[in-house]
């Protein structure tokens, strides 16, 4: 099981392979490489491009996708350990992660920082809970700290404009 939380977790070779694969897809060379696979997308924050691109990618590669908006399509989820569940949140995130992990091959999470406490936000509690409890690969679709898919998209754009070797690019 491999997570995609930040580009720093992957080698240059792995990232280059991801970008090369994405370039091939962009050129219309689609494969049914995700046939029989299911991705759950869980959004704690609104999305237009991220949601659309992930849903279309799964469909175009032969996979299945289930999209949920936390707190709207699901119960509100508690992220703090040891909290008595008598407030607005009806379910603990670790329980939700375990359940969703049984249904999917991977889970994509989009959860921005709350902006109330840097101490809490820098722990990336939503992403961390899913990594710890889901039992499947987690894809960070943007969190308190990282936006790895945007990094890859930006590199693709630069390579399309300046060529594959970006050394010396301003």
CA 72/CA 19 separation, integer angstroms: 34
27 located within any domain: no
Q: Could you tell me the CATH number of the domain that includes residue 45?
A: 3.40.50.1370
22 located within any domain: no
How many domains is the chain built from?
1
Range of the domain at 109: 34-148
Nearest partner of 39 among 25, 15, 60, 11, judged by Cα: 60
131 located within any domain: yes
Q: Residues 40, 104: contact at Cβ < 8 Å?
A: yes
- Give the tens place of pLDDT for each residue, 71-102: 787 767 767 676 665 655 567 788 899 999 99
155 located within any domain: no
- Give the tens place of pLDDT for each residue, 122-153: 788 899 999 999 999 999 999 988 999 999 99
What's the predicted TM-score (pTM) here?
Answer: 0.88
């Amino acid at each position: 099981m491999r997570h995609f939380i930040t580009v720093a977790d992957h080698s240059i070779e792995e990232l280059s392979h991801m970008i090369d694969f994405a370039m091939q897809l962009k050129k219309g060379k689609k494969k049914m490489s995700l046939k029989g696979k299911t991705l759950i997308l869980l959004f704690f924050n609104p999305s237009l491009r991220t949601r659309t691109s992930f849903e279309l990618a799964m469909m175009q590669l032969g996979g299945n996708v289930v999209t949920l908006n936390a707190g709207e399509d699901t119960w509100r989820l508690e992220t703090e350990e040891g909290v008595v569940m008598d407030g607005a949140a009806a379910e603990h995130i670790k329980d939700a992660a375990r359940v969703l992990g049984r249904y999917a091959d991977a889970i994509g999470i989009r959860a921005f920082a709350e902006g109330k406490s840097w101490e809490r936000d820098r722990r990336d509690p939503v992403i961390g809970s899913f990594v710890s409890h889901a039992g499947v690969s987690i894809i960070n679709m943007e969190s308190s700290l990282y936006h790895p898919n945007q990094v890859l998209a930006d590199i693709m754009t630069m390579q399309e404009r300046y060529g594959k070797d970006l050394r010396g690019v301003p």
